[in-house]
Amino acid sequence: MLTAKLLADRRGLIFLAILAAAAILVPALNLLTPEGSALHVPTYAMSLMGKYLTYAILALALDLVWGYCGILSLGHGAFFALGGYAMGMYLMRQIGPRGVYGNPVLPDFMVFLNWKELPWYWYGFDWFPFAALMVVAVPGLIAFIFGWFAFRSRVTGVYLSIITQALTYALLLAFFRNDMGFGGNNGLTDFKDILGFNIQSDATRAGLFALTALTLAAAYLIARSVVMSKAGKVLLAVRDAESRVRFLGYRADNYKLFVFTLSAMMAGIAGALYVPQIGIINPSEFAPGNSIEVVIWTAVGGRGTLVGPAIGAILVNFAKTTFTTGALAPYWLFALGGLFVLVTLFLPKGIVGTASDYLARRRAAGAKPEPVAAPTPDPAE
Amino acid sequence: MAHAVFLILSRILAVLVVAFALAHPAAAQTLDTAALAKGFASRSFDDVEKAVTQLAASGSPRAEPILRALNDRLLVIAADGALLIDKAGAYENAFTGEAVTPTAKPTPIRVNNKIRTTLAAAMGALTLMSPDRQKRLEAAEAVFKSRDASARPLLDKAIAAETDARVKARLIEARAAGVLLDQTATEAERVEAVATIRARGDQDAKGLLSSLPAEVPPAVKAAADRAITAIEAELALWNVAQNGYYGLSLGSVLLLAAIGLAITFGVMGIINMAHGEMVMIGAYVTFVVQETIRTSFPGLFDYSLLIALPLAFLVAAIVGMAIERSVIRFLYGRPLETLLATWGISLILQQAVRTLFGPTNREVGAPSFMSGAFDLGGLVITYNRLWIIVFTLVVFFALLMLLRFTALGLQMRAVTQNRRMAAAMGIRTNRIDMLTFGLGSGIAGLAGVALSQIDNVSPNLGQGYIIDSFMVVVFGGVGNLWGTLVGAFTIGIANKFLEPYAGAVLGKILLLVFIILFIQKRPRGLFALKGRAVEA
DSSP per-residue string spanning B337-393:
HHHHHHHHHHHHHHHHHHHHH-SS-B--PPPGGGS-EEEETTEEEEHHHHHHHHHHH
CA–CA separation, B103 and B106 (whole Å): 8
Instruction: Note whether A295 contacts B516, CB cutoff 8 Å.
Output: no
The residue ranking higher by pLDDT, B300 or B5, is: B300
Write out the H or E segment, with its range, that includes residue A281: strand A280-281
Q: How many CA atoms lie within 13 A of A144 on its CB side?
A: 9
Smallest Cβ–Cβ distance between B470 and the set A152, A162, A333 belongs to A162
Measured between beta carbons, the chain A residues lying within 8 angstroms of B351 are 330-331, 333-334, 337
Burial of B14 (0-12, 13-18, 19+ CB in 10 A): buried
Contact in structure between B9 and B79 (CB atoms under 8 Å): no
Number of domains in chain A: 1
Instruction: Note whether A338 contacts B327, CB cutoff 8 Å.
Output: no
CA–CA separation, B441 and A211 (whole Å): 48
Minimal CA separation from A220 to chain B, in Å: 25
Write out the H or E segment, with its range, that includes residue B87: strand B83-87
The residue-averaged pLDDT of A206-226 equals 95
Task: Output phi, psi for B197, to 5 deg.
Answer: -70, -35
pLDDT of residue B511 exceeding 90, the answer is: no
Task: Output phi, psi for B458, to 5 deg.
Answer: -140, 165
Q: Domain limits at A38?
A: 12-283
Domain membership of residue A44 (yes or no) is: yes
What is the b/e burial string over B26-40, where b = at least 16 CB atoms within 10 angstroms of the residue's CB? eebeebebbebbbbb
B415 touches A: beta carbon within 8 Å: no
Question: What local confidence, expressed as pLDDT, does residue B4 receive?
Answer: 55
Q: Taking all residues of chain B, what is their mean pLDDT, rounded to a whole number?
A: 82
Q: How confident is the model at residue A34 (pLDDT cuts 50, 70, 90)?
A: confident
Q: Could you tell me the end-to-end alpha-carbon distance of chain B, in angstroms, rounded to an integer?
A: 107
CA–CA separation, A157 and A160 (whole Å): 6
Sequence-ordered alpha helix ranges (H) in B358-480:
383-405, 407-417, 419-424, 429-451, 463-476
- The distance of Cα B525 from the centroid of its chain, to the nearest Å, equals 35
Out of A91-95, B98-102, B393-397, pick the least confident: B98-102
Minimal CA separation from B351 to chain A, in Å: 6
Sequence-ordered alpha helix ranges (H) in chain A:
2-7, 10-32, 43-69, 76-95, 108-112, 128-152, 157-176, 202-228, 230-240, 242-247, 252-278, 288-301, 307-325, 332-346, 350-366
B339 touches A: beta carbon within 8 Å: yes
The residue ranking higher by pLDDT, B153 or B347, is: B347
Nearest Cα to A318, choosing from A79, A53, A58? A53
Mutation target to probe the B interface, by most B beta carbons within 10 A, among A333, A347, A349 is: A333
The residue ranking higher by pLDDT, B134 or B497, is: B497
Contacts for B235 with CB less than 8 Å, ≥ 6 apart: B201, B202, B203, B206, B378
Question: What local confidence, expressed as pLDDT, does residue A367 receive?
Answer: 59
Question: What local confidence, expressed as pLDDT, does residue B208 receive?
Answer: 79
Domain membership of residue A304 (yes or no) is: no
Q: Which one-letter DSSP state was computed for residue B269?
A: -
pLDDT digits (tens, 9 = 90+) for A134-158: 999 999 999 999 999 889 888 888 8
A316 touches B: beta carbon within 8 Å: no
CA torsion A108-A112-A115-A118 (nearest 10°) is -10
Contact in structure between B349 and B273 (CB atoms under 8 Å): no
pLDDT of residue A242 exceeding 60, the answer is: yes
Write out the H or E segment, with its range, that includes residue A189: strand A188-189
Q: How many CA atoms lie within 13 A of A214 on its CB side?
A: 10
CA–CA separation, B126 and B117 (whole Å): 14
Instruction: Note whether A344 contacts B523, CB cutoff 8 Å.
Output: no
Contacts for B141 with CB less than 8 Å, ≥ 6 apart: B170, B174
Residue type at position A181: G
Instruction: Note whether B520 contacts A176, CB cutoff 8 Å.
Output: no
pLDDT digits (tens, 9 = 90+) for B39-67: 887 778 888 888 887 777 776 777 777 88
Which of B237-241, B341-345, B476-480 has the highest average model confidence (pLDDT)? Answer: B341-345
Minimal CA separation from A346 to chain B, in Å: 10
The residue-averaged pLDDT of B370-387 equals 82
Measured between beta carbons, the chain A residues lying within 8 angstroms of B348 are 333-334, 337-338, 341
Contact in structure between B111 and B117 (CB atoms under 8 Å): no
Question: What local confidence, expressed as pLDDT, does residue B59 receive?
Answer: 66
Percent of chain A beyond pLDDT 90? 60
Question: What local confidence, expressed as pLDDT, does residue B207 receive?
Answer: 79
Task: Give the number of other Cβ atoms within 10 Å of residue B53's Cβ.
Answer: 16
Q: Considering only alpha carbons, which residue of chain A is nearest residue B340?
A: A340
Sequence-ordered alpha helix ranges (H) in B22-80:
33-41, 45-58, 63-71
pLDDT digits (tens, 9 = 90+) for B401-441: 998 999 999 998 888 888 889 899 999 989 999 999 999 99
Measured between beta carbons, the chain A residues lying within 8 angstroms of B523 are 153-155, 159
Which of A85-89, A159-163, B139-143, B303-307 has the highest average model confidence (pLDDT)? Answer: A85-89
Q: How many CA atoms lie within 13 A of B348 on its CB side?
A: 17
ipTM of the complex: 0.85
The residue ranking higher by pLDDT, A232 or B222, is: A232
The residue-averaged pLDDT of A325-338 equals 86
A346 touches B: beta carbon within 8 Å: no
Instruction: Note whether A340 contacts B341, CB cutoff 8 Å.
Output: yes
As a residue count, chain B comes to 536
pLDDT digits (tens, 9 = 90+) for B209-260: 877 777 777 888 888 888 888 888 888 888 888 888 889 988 998 998 898 8
Which of A95-109, B169-183, B270-284, B465-479 has the highest average model confidence (pLDDT)? Answer: B270-284
Q: Which one-letter DSSP state was computed for residue A376?
A: P
CA–CA separation, B316 and B439 (whole Å): 9
Domain membership of residue A242 (yes or no) is: yes
CA torsion B311-B315-B321-B324 (nearest 10°) is -140
The residue-averaged pLDDT of B107-117 equals 80
CA geometry: angle A174, A177, A179, nearest 5 deg: 110
CA–CA separation, A109 and A177 (whole Å): 12
CA–CA separation, B352 and B319 (whole Å): 13
Task: Give the number of other Cβ atoms within 10 Å of residue A29's Cβ.
Answer: 17
Contacts for A69 with CB less than 8 Å, ≥ 6 apart: A235, A236, A238, A239, A255, A256, A259, A260
Instruction: Note whether A344 contacts B471, CB cutoff 8 Å.
Output: no
Write out the H or E segment, with its range, that includes residue B292: helix B275-296
pLDDT digits (tens, 9 = 90+) for B6-35: 555 555 555 444 444 444 444 444 567 777
Q: How confident is the model at residue B531 (pLDDT cuts 50, 70, 90)?
A: very low
The CA distances from residue A256 to A230, A252, B479, in Å, are 14, 6, 28
- The distance of Cα B169 from the centroid of its chain, to the nearest Å, equals 24
Nearest Cα to B328, choosing from B377, B270, B388? B270
Q: Which one-letter DSSP state was computed for residue B27?
A: G
- The distance of Cα A119 from the centroid of its chain, to the nearest Å, equals 29
With a CB-CB cutoff of 8 Å, which residues 211-250 of chain A face chain B?
none
Percent of chain A beyond pLDDT 70? 94
The residue-averaged pLDDT of A240-244 equals 91
Question: What local confidence, expressed as pLDDT, does residue A122 receive?
Answer: 92
- The distance of Cα B74 from the centroid of its chain, to the nearest Å, equals 34
> What global pTM score does this model have?
0.76
Q: How confident is the model at residue B196 (pLDDT cuts 50, 70, 90)?
A: confident
Domain membership of residue A225 (yes or no) is: yes
pLDDT of residue B182 exceeding 80, the answer is: no
Question: What local confidence, expressed as pLDDT, does residue B18 receive?
Answer: 45
A143 touches B: beta carbon within 8 Å: no
The residue-averaged pLDDT of A262-279 equals 96
The residue-averaged pLDDT of B82-106 equals 79
Q: Are strands B83-87 and B75-77 parallel, antiparallel or unpaired?
A: antiparallel
Task: Give the number of other Cβ atoms within 10 Å of residue A251's Cβ.
Answer: 12
The SS3 call for residue B108 is: strand
pLDDT of residue A264 exceeding 80, the answer is: yes
Measured between beta carbons, the chain B residues lying within 8 angstroms of A300 are none
Question: What local confidence, expressed as pLDDT, does residue B149 receive?
Answer: 66
Measured between beta carbons, the chain A residues lying within 8 angstroms of B513 are 170
Question: What local confidence, expressed as pLDDT, does residue B150 receive?
Answer: 67
Domain membership of residue A357 (yes or no) is: no
Write out the H or E segment, with its range, that includes residue B231: helix B218-261
Question: What local confidence, expressed as pLDDT, does residue A379 receive?
Answer: 46
pLDDT digits (tens, 9 = 90+) for B285-313: 999 999 999 888 888 888 888 999 999 99
Nearest Cα to A162, choosing from B503, B442, B524? B524
The CA distances from residue B264 to B248, B271, B312, B432, in Å, are 24, 7, 18, 12
The CA distances from residue A362 to A51, A350, A359, A368, in Å, are 36, 18, 5, 11
CA–CA separation, B289 and B282 (whole Å): 11
Minimal CA separation from A316 to chain B, in Å: 14
Question: What local confidence, expressed as pLDDT, does residue B190 receive?
Answer: 82
With a CB-CB cutoff of 8 Å, which residues 46-85 of chain A face chain B?
72
The residue-averaged pLDDT of B330-335 equals 84
pLDDT digits (tens, 9 = 90+) for A349-371: 888 888 888 888 888 887 555 44
Domain membership of residue A84 (yes or no) is: yes
Task: Give the number of other Cβ atoms within 10 Å of residue A343's Cβ.
Answer: 24
Measured between beta carbons, the chain A residues lying within 8 angstroms of B460 are none
Domain membership of residue A310 (yes or no) is: no
Domain membership of residue A54 (yes or no) is: yes
The SS3 call for residue B100 is: strand
The CA distances from residue A170 to B220, B245, B257, in Å, are 53, 25, 20
The SS3 call for residue B93 is: strand
pLDDT digits (tens, 9 = 90+) for A6-20: 556 788 899 999 999
